[in-house]
Amino acid sequence: MKWILLFVVITLGVTAGNLASSYIQLRIAAHALNAEATRMSQQSAASLEKARREQEARRAATEERRRQQRQQANKDRSAQDQLRSTCHYWIAEYRRTGNELDMIHRDKSCREAGIRAQ
């Protein structure tokens, strides 16, 4: 009977030890999973913030490029307007004076403006 009692005590002790060990392993695994989930959440938030900053930088660069294109278009338009104005001035001067020098200026300025002189 002593042997049976000793066997039962040892078996219960080993079983209790194994259960305690399994419980401790589960707690450690749960803690590790929580830590990893927190790290992944922080990493995800950092990635989202980085993507937002990059998108904002691209938007700002695009807006700056558009602004420069508008400025260039305005300059080009102003230059073209000036060329047209000069051409029309020399057309009027040539009609008024009939001078050959005015005709040369008319032809040159109208050619630069892309206008066919009359």
- Which among 49, 115, 43 is positioned nearest to 86, based on CA atoms? 115
**pLDDT tens-digit readout, 87-105:** 999 999 999 999 999 899 9
DSSP symbol at 98: -
* Token pair listed for 79: 């230059």
**pLDDT tens-digit readout, 42-90:** 999 999 999 999 999 999 999 999 999 999 998 888 889 999 999 999 9
Contact 30, 38 (CB under 8 A): no
* CB neighbour list of residue 35: distance below 8 Å, 6 or more residues apart: none
